[in-house]
Structure 1
Amino acid sequence: MSGTTGTTQDPSRPGGNTGDPHDPYDSHATDRWAPEPDKRPGRTAFQRDRARVLHSSALRRLAGKTQVVTPGTRHPAWDASPRTRLTHSLECAQVGRELGAALGCDPDLVEAACLSHDMGHPPFGHNGETVLDEVARDIGGFEGNAQSLRLLTRIEPKSFLTTPEGDTVSVGLNLTRAALDAATKYPWPRGGNPADGVAGPAKFGVYEDDLPVFAWVREGAPAHRTCFEAQVMDWSDDVAYSVHDLEDALHAGHVDPRLLLAEPERAAIAQVAIGRYVPAGTDPQELSEALDRLLAQEWWPHHYDGSALAQARLKDATSQLIGRFCLAAEHATRQAYGTGRLTRYAAELVVPRAARHECAVLKAVADLYVMRRADQEALRADQRVILTELADALAARAPHGLEPQFRALFTAAGDDRARGRVIVDQLAALTDASARTLHAQLTARR
């Protein structure tokens, strides 16, 4: 099967199908893999994309998937539910929409990319991603970003295409080429990142059996280069989760802001950040200076006791941080490229080194005081056991235990490799709670 030109849009609006070869959002950008009519004429192609993502079951399932702290948990002191993958995606979308619009991107396009960027993440957050990569080691591995592309173009039931052979196959949400490209952080298969130098479990954006649609998405794009909208999405993702993870950590009482003044704590924060959130070899002094710049701000939350006043001040600090990081990128990018409209492959998002270091420090604080807590490590160990045992049980009993959609795909699969990928697809689709429930059902007689 192959992609075809989508329906004609209003040429006077962003995301319209103008037919102008110099228009960054021309008919090539608004193509869909499978042709289809627009049920509501007058909408732009990217408004349709955004609506499809918003109404998808995959987006709703993110409400039950771990961001940092397990969904549904509350701290006894502060009555604040932690963020989930869904709330993170919504917040990322709000940040990305405004930053993208300020730089000339179509806001619906950037929002659709932000909403969909985490759809492929499995239950139990990055912990679950590690387990599934091991489960799928003989069939190409697992990566949340590659799973997102697979979900958007194959798994999520929305649009179907009849092949020349007469088969009816799912094409997922059938988003535009530009929307799929904007949702792609890592435009290469496993081992294909030129920065890695070697094949291995590094970040990648497409599985081997999804390469045909990936090639269509990337048609005409420079190799290994993310489009401008994807760069806006990526920075918005960093901003949203670094700032909001810190907010959650303060709400939960895991972080005492006064500790950030102590030298042993600051050294530990730098140690966590280097190699994980900033390149290896980064001078710890640069990170210390980044932390000092944040602590020097009048709005920085130096104290938090959960009172209404403290919560309001923390919300103000959250807004200030998001504005600080977005404006830093906007101003630096405008300084490099001027005031024109920046889209697709016409520019690179410029994020100042100082802003990246400040963002990294916030990530490291949440990592050190929340993710590395002893109780969280015990929980993650239990999650790894559950997901590993569940994978074994499904492999042994399939198609029993699979949802109807995946049961049909498993039955139709042509070989063990394809059947193994279906099992991984099923596991990735589960929420934290449904993974535990299915595990209990399938392992009850062990």
Structure 2
Amino acid sequence: MAVMPTPRAVYAEDPARSRGRRFPEAESATRTPFARDRDRIIHATAFRRLKEKTQVFVAHEGDNFRTRLTHSLEVAQIARSLATALGLDADLAETIALAHDLGHPPFGHAGEDELERQMSDFGGFDHNVQTFRVITRLERRYPRFDGLNLTWETLEGVIKHNGPVSDRLNRPSWRAIAAFDSEFDLRLDGWASAEAQVAAIADDIAYNNHDVDDGVQAGLFRLSELLDVPLIGPILADVQRRYPDTDPSIQRLEAVREMIGAMVGDVLAETRRRAADSRVATVEDVRNLDHALVGFSRDMAEDLARLRSFLMERMYRHWRVNRTRSQARRILAEMFQLFMAEPDVLPTEWFARSQKRDEDGPAQVVCDYIAGMTDRFAIEEHRKLFHLEVWN
């Protein structure tokens, strides 16, 4: 039986009515503005670097664990599926999903924590702001402007996919956002589009599921220990009942696949309920709500909170992970302090940037350089800076 396409939702973004780009450009003859944004992100240098950036593990610890790149692709796939089922613009949802991790530094949350510590006297560090810096300034590919010159809707979705952010503009780390917003108003006091909200919740779905998968593969906890965990436990028990003679690794993958399906189904039902209850009829209605339009049901949110508690205890705070985090923090701290004390050891282009008298300052340039590194490059750069024998 053929699957009937979902009618376009009345609150879906329309690419033909985009608010445009900061620097006007002729429209593409073959792509919508949102599809063009997606392609610009995929071709960006920062996107390629995601292949050796990680969240929990470090890139050299194994080839089977997710990287920021594979995670972003999984988020984009889930976001596109959700958007299609809800009658939203799938290109915009996919674009925001692909862009959401571009500002993450090497070594996952450990790297983010250390850059926040090193930048505490210079305005701080926020990976969402760094993502925005990447797409509006740091990517240099075009003769007429820095950044990727993405549409208003993509920029809005990237910076506020988790909700309004106007209360953060007084933070030093957000000065780049405040400056950009003063020239290209992103309406930071309201919710983002439904497509952006879909990208945000697709991120939650993806990382909760792949952390379960990666945690078992890494030996941080056993498959059997998941049987007592809400959501994944009942699904895994049912899989084992239906496929008792199947290899445990296949049982794990089937349980994760079915958990993704359960979470997606919950989001679709809850979002449709909220849209009906709130009588959402336009794109502006979505932005003006006092709550998110896209979300999990209360029961699903409670189950996910308990799953995250299990992962926090058994995975994110595992002693093996803690050791890696400790090493990662030291690597970034030592490089940051050396570059600040001796900027002439920076690569030529970055040294030149550090000497400019502009709004960024040397610390921000050093931070940008380090944040753009992959795990592997950061390890090698540290070795070259602190261990002479690598030059022999």
- Alignment partners' CA distance in 2, 1:200 and 1:188: 11
| Aligned twin of 1:310 | 248
CA contact (8 A) 1:393 1:443 kept: no
Residue 181, structure 1, aligned to residue 147, structure 2: no
Q: Percent identity?
A: 30
Shift of 1:400: 2.7
**Taking structure 1 as reference, are residues 235 and 109 closer, same or farther at Cα in structure 2, changes over 3 Å only?**
same
- Alignment partners' CA distance in 1, 2:178 and 2:130: 12
| Aligned twin of 2:22 | 33
User: Per-residue CA shift, 1:157-187, capped at 9, x if unaligned?
Assistant: 22353xxxxxxx51x1111110111222355
**Taking structure 1 as reference, are residues 292 and 177 closer, same or farther at Cα in structure 2, changes over 3 Å only?**
closer
User: Per-residue CA shift, 1:196-239, capped at 9, x if unaligned?
Assistant: xxx889xxxx72034232345544x3615333222211111011
Superposition TM-score, scaled by structure 1 size: 0.74
Superposition TM-score, scaled by structure 2 size: 0.84
Residue 425, structure 1, aligned to residue 368, structure 2: yes
Q: Which residue type is aligned with residue 208 of structure 1?
A: R
User: Per-residue CA shift, 1:121-159, capped at 9, x if unaligned?
Assistant: 001111111111111112210011110011111101223
Counterpart selection for 2:197 from 196, 208, 231: 231
Counterpart selection for 1:126 from 109, 112, 115: 109
Shift of 1:311: 2.6
**Taking structure 1 as reference, are residues 97 and 175 closer, same or farther at Cα in structure 2, changes over 3 Å only?**
same
| Structure 1: gaps spanning 5 or more residues | 1-13, 15-21, 75-79, 162-168, 194-198, 263-290
- Alignment partners' CA distance in 2, 1:424 and 1:300: 48
User: Per-residue CA shift, 1:42-86, capped at 9, x if unaligned?
Assistant: 211111011111111111111111221111323xxxxx6111111
**Taking structure 1 as reference, are residues 372 and 23 closer, same or farther at Cα in structure 2, changes over 3 Å only?**
closer
| Aligned twin of 1:410 | 354
Identify the structure with bigger relative contact order (alpha carbons < 8 Å, sequence gap 6+).
Answer: 2
Q: Which residue type is aligned with residue 165 of structure 2?
A: W
> Could you say what secondary structure the match of 2:334 adopts?
helix
Residue 370, structure 1, aligned to residue 301, structure 2: no
CA contact (8 A) 1:258 1:302 kept: no
Shift of 1:95: 0.5
Residue 352, structure 1, aligned to residue 291, structure 2: no
- Alignment partners' CA distance in 2, 1:411 and 1:312: 55
The alignment yields a C-alpha RMSD, in angstroms, of 3.0
CA contact (8 A) 1:67 1:84 kept: yes
- Alignment partners' CA distance in 1, 2:75 and 2:136: 22
**Taking structure 1 as reference, are residues 158 and 250 closer, same or farther at Cα in structure 2, changes over 3 Å only?**
same
Residue 54, structure 1, aligned to residue 42, structure 2: yes
Residue 384, structure 1, aligned to residue 329, structure 2: yes
Residue 43, structure 1, aligned to residue 36, structure 2: no
Counterpart selection for 1:192 from 168, 178, 182: 168
The within-5 A match list for 1:210-221 is 210-215=177-182, 218-219=185-186, 221=187
Structure number having the greater helix percentage: 2
| Aligned twin of 2:174 | 207
| Aligned twin of 1:278 | none
Shift of 1:382: 1.4
Shift of 1:376: 1.6
CA contact (8 A) 1:178 1:217 kept: no
Q: Which residue type is aligned with residue 207 of structure 1?
A: W
> Could you say what secondary structure the match of 1:207 adopts?
helix
**Taking structure 1 as reference, are residues 301 and 365 closer, same or farther at Cα in structure 2, changes over 3 Å only?**
farther
CA contact (8 A) 1:242 1:360 kept: no
**Taking structure 1 as reference, are residues 370 and 336 closer, same or farther at Cα in structure 2, changes over 3 Å only?**
closer
CA contact (8 A) 1:332 1:352 kept: yes
**Taking structure 1 as reference, are residues 23 and 243 closer, same or farther at Cα in structure 2, changes over 3 Å only?**
closer
> Could you say what secondary structure the match of 2:168 adopts?
coil
Shift of 1:101: 1.8
| Aligned twin of 2:219 | 253
**Taking structure 1 as reference, are residues 412 and 293 closer, same or farther at Cα in structure 2, changes over 3 Å only?**
closer
Shift of 1:430: 0.6
- Alignment partners' CA distance in 1, 2:345 and 2:369: 12
- Alignment partners' CA distance in 1, 2:154 and 2:313: 35
CA contact (8 A) 1:100 1:110 kept: yes
CA contact (8 A) 2:79 2:198 kept: yes
- Alignment partners' CA distance in 2, 1:135 and 1:255: 33
**Taking structure 1 as reference, are residues 179 and 403 closer, same or farther at Cα in structure 2, changes over 3 Å only?**
farther
- Alignment partners' CA distance in 1, 2:239 and 2:306: 15
| Aligned twin of 2:124 | 141
- Alignment partners' CA distance in 2, 1:403 and 1:320: 50
**Taking structure 1 as reference, are residues 316 and 218 closer, same or farther at Cα in structure 2, changes over 3 Å only?**
farther
Residue 335, structure 1, aligned to residue 324, structure 2: no
Shift of 1:255: 1.6
Shift of 1:345: 4.0
**Taking structure 1 as reference, are residues 300 and 112 closer, same or farther at Cα in structure 2, changes over 3 Å only?**
farther
User: Per-residue CA shift, 1:16-39, capped at 9, x if unaligned?
Assistant: xxxxxx98436663411112234x
- Alignment partners' CA distance in 1, 2:127 and 2:348: 20
> After alignment, is 83-92 or 294-303 more displaced?
294-303
Query: What is the count of residue pairs matched by the alignment?
Result: 368
CA contact (8 A) 1:409 1:422 kept: yes
Give 4+ residue runs of structure 1 displaced > 6 Å after superposition.
339-343
